[in-house]
Chains A and B, each alone.
Chain A
Amino acid sequence: MRYAYYPGCSLTESAVEFDVSTRALMTALGAELEEVPDWTCCGASAVEAVSRLLTYALPARNLALSERDLPGLDMLIPCSACYLNHLRVEREVLGEKGLRGEMDEILAADGLKYEGTVKVRHLLDVLTNDIELKAVKEKVGHALRGMVLAPYYGCQILRPYKVFDDPERPKTMDPLIKATGAEPLDWSMGSKCCGASLMATKKEVALESVAAILAAAKDADAIVTVCPMCQMNLEAYQKQALRVNGRARPISIVYLPQVLGLAFGLSEKDVLLDKNMTVTERFLNRLRNPEPPEEPEAKDAPAAEKPAKSQGKTEPAREQGTPAQ
C-alpha cells in the first residue's frame, strides 16, 4: 500500500502530533506514505470567504502536483479541512465545464494541469476501507481495556459529500476503537460542529458549541478526533468552555492515530502525547494500567476476586501529581 501524503499546514505546526502519529500508525500497518513534493496550503476554511477561484485553485495545485509526481497513488489527507477542500475539486471541477476551464487557465500560469486522476482519501476512510479490521486487531499489543472513548468526527469529513460514513450518525470509528480494546461512547455529538474558525472571529459563540460537546462526553476518558481544528477548539479552549457549561469537566483530547498507535504498543513519545494540550491523569492512568484481560471464568469462582489493576503493563510514570496539562 502506497499513498501520496498531504499533511497540510496545521500538521507541520500546531498539530505536529497528528502528523507524527499518522506516519507511525501507517508504517506499523505496512503502508508507505510519499509526501507530495512542494505542496502548498489548500486555503483551509478561510479561502471560500475570500475568493471563489482560489477555493478551487489552491487545492487543485496540490492535486496536479500529486498526479504529476506520484502518478497512480491516492492522496491520503489526515486534516478534515484539507480533505474537504481537495475533495471539492475532485467532485466539482471535472463536471463543470466553465470551472474546469478556469482551473486550466489558472494552473497553466504555474505550469500545471489537473486531470482528475488522483483520488482524495481521508485517513479515516483509508483505515476503514483499505485496511482490514483484522490487521488492526492483530497489531494491538497494549489493549486499552477499561477505557471509554468518545468518537468525534466533526463536520468536513461527513458533509456536504457523503463518502465513507453516515453524515448524521457516523460510526466508522466504533470498530477501530473496539479493536483497541476500549469502548466507544454511544453519544449523538460526534457529528456536531465545534465552531471551527468562529473561535477566532466569534469566540463566545464557538465556546457554546465546545462546551456542549465536552459536557456530553463527560463519562468518557477521552474524546478522539480526526481534525486539527476540532482538536484545537476542544483542547486549547477547554478551560474557557468549562466556565460556560457547568456540566462539563476536564477531559483528554487525542487524535485517532495516537490512540491506535498507543494500543499497538507504541510509546507515548512515539505518538508525541506530550504535545497534546489536555491530557488528564484519568486518561494516563487508564492508558498505563489497563484492565487485565478477562480470564475464562472458572466455575464457582468468587466474583469479587479480580486481579489487581497494577498488574497491567506500566511505563515509568511521570512524577505523581504532575498532569501532562
Chain B
Amino acid sequence: MSQTEVKDTKTKKADLEARALADIQDMVAACMQCGTCTASCPNSFAMDYTPRQMWRMIIFGMLDEVLKSKTFWLCSACYTCTLRCPRGLPLTRAMAALKRLAALRGGEQRKKAAFYKEFINNVHKYGRVQETGLMFSYFTTMMDPFLPLSYAPLGLKMLGKGKLHPPSGAHKGKLDAIFDKVKQMEGTT
C-alpha cells in the first residue's frame, strides 16, 4: 500500500467514524438526563459510566472516553430503557450503534467485538448459524486458553444431549449476494 493509499484509508475511516458519531448524537440529542434508563438497566451495576452519563458524554463528543468504557458492551438489548424513556429515544439502538462504531475503530476494541463479528461471519458462510462451529471460531479469535475451558461443562452437556453438530453446508453461499451488496453500500471491506 502506498502512502497516499494509507492516508486515504485513514481519512475514509475517520469520515465513517464522524458520521456514526453524528448519528448517535442525533439519537440521544433530546436526552434530559432524568436517569430512567440507568434505573431500568439490568446491567448498570457492572458498568463504569451509567447509561445516563454516557449519553451526556456522547453529546459532548467525548468519543475516546466512551469507547474506553465498558458501558455499551454491557447492553443486553432488553429494551427496558427504550420502553421507559420519557423522551422516547431509541437508546437500545444507540447502544448497538456504539458497538458498531467501536468495531470500526479496531485496535483493542477488536476483541470486544469479536463474538458479534464471528457470529455474522458464520451466518455469511453457512446461511444458517452453525452453533458448534461458531463457538470454535470465537475461541480461536480470542486466543485465550481459559475461555474454552469456562465453556467446557456446557460443551459436554450439549454433546450428551446430541446437540453438537459439525457445520452443515446445505445453505452455503445463499447470503453471498446480500452480504456483497451491503458491504458495497456501507463502504466497509
- Whether B12 is near chain A, meaning CB under 8 Å from some CB there, is no
* Chain B 38-56 near chain A by CB (<8 Å), digits 1 or 0: 0000110110000000000
Of A49, A57, A155, A195, the contact of B182 (CB 8 Å cutoff): A57
Interface size bracket, A side: 35 or more
* B136: interface (CB < 8 Å): no
A201 to B131, CA, bound (A): 15
B42 touches A192 (CB 8 A): yes
CA distance A198 to B73 in the complex (A): 9
- B99 located at the interface, meaning its Cβ lies under 8 Å from any Cβ of chain A in the complex: yes
A277 to B162: give the CA distance in the assembly, Å.
11
Pairwise interchain contact A52-B100, C-beta atoms closer than 8 A? yes
B119 in complex: contacting residue of A44, A52, A61, A159, CB < 8 Å: A44
Nearest Cβ on chain B to A165's Cβ, whole angstroms: 13
Distance in angstroms from A55 CB to nearest chain B CB is 8
* CB proximity of B56 to chain A, nearest CB, Å: 22
Q: Decide: A40 near B180, CB < 8 A? Known: A14-B158, A159-B82.
A: no
Stretch at the interface among B3-11, B27-35, B59-67, B110-118: B110-118
**B115–A277 touching, CB < 8 Å:** no
**Stretch of A27-35, A106-114, A115-123 at the chain-chain interface:** A106-114
Stretch at the interface among A5-13, A263-271, A299-307: A5-13
In this assembly, does B128 line the interface, its C-beta being within 8 Å of a C-beta of chain A? yes
Whether the pair A41, B181 counts as a contact (CB closer than 8 A) is: no
B77 touches A107 (CB 8 A): no
Q: Number of contacting residues on B, CB 8 A?
A: 58
Task: Kindly list chain A residues whose C-beta atoms are within 8 Å of the C-beta of B158.
Answer: 14, 236
A160 in contact with B97 given A40-B127, A51-B182 (CB within 8 Å): no
Complex alpha-carbon distance, A109 and B182, angstroms: 10
The number of inter-chain residue pairs (CB within 8 angstroms) is 170
For residue A164, CB closer than 8 A to chain B, the reply is: no
Establish whether residues B83 and A167, one from each chain, have CB atoms under 8 Å apart when the complex forms.
yes
User: Is B157 touching A52 in the complex (CB atoms < 8 A)?
Assistant: no
Nearest-neighbour CB distance to chain A for B24, whole angstroms, equals 12
Return B152 CB to nearest CB of chain A, in Å. Answer: 12
A51-B120, A277-B157 are contacts. A102–B76 as well, Cβ < 8 Å?
no
Q: Which residues of A contact B73 (CB under 8 A)?
A: 201-202
In the bound assembly, the distance between CA atoms of A168 and B117 in angstroms comes to: 31
Q: Mark B101-115, 1 if CB is under 8 A from A, else 0.
A: 001000000001101
B78 touches A159 (CB 8 A): yes
CB<8 Å pairs between A and B, sample of 22:
A9-B131, A14-B163, A38-B174, A39-B128, A41-B127, A43-B123, A47-B119, A49-B99, A49-B113, A50-B120, A54-B120, A54-B179, A102-B185, A105-B185, A155-B78, A160-B82, A168-B83, A192-B42, A196-B77, A204-B46, A209-B76, A236-B157
* Apart from A275-B161, A325-B160, 15 more pairs, CB < 8 Å: A13-B129, A38-B171, A41-B127, A46-B116, A49-B96, A49-B113, A50-B119, A53-B182, A54-B182, A58-B178, A159-B82, A193-B43, A201-B115, A202-B73, A209-B76
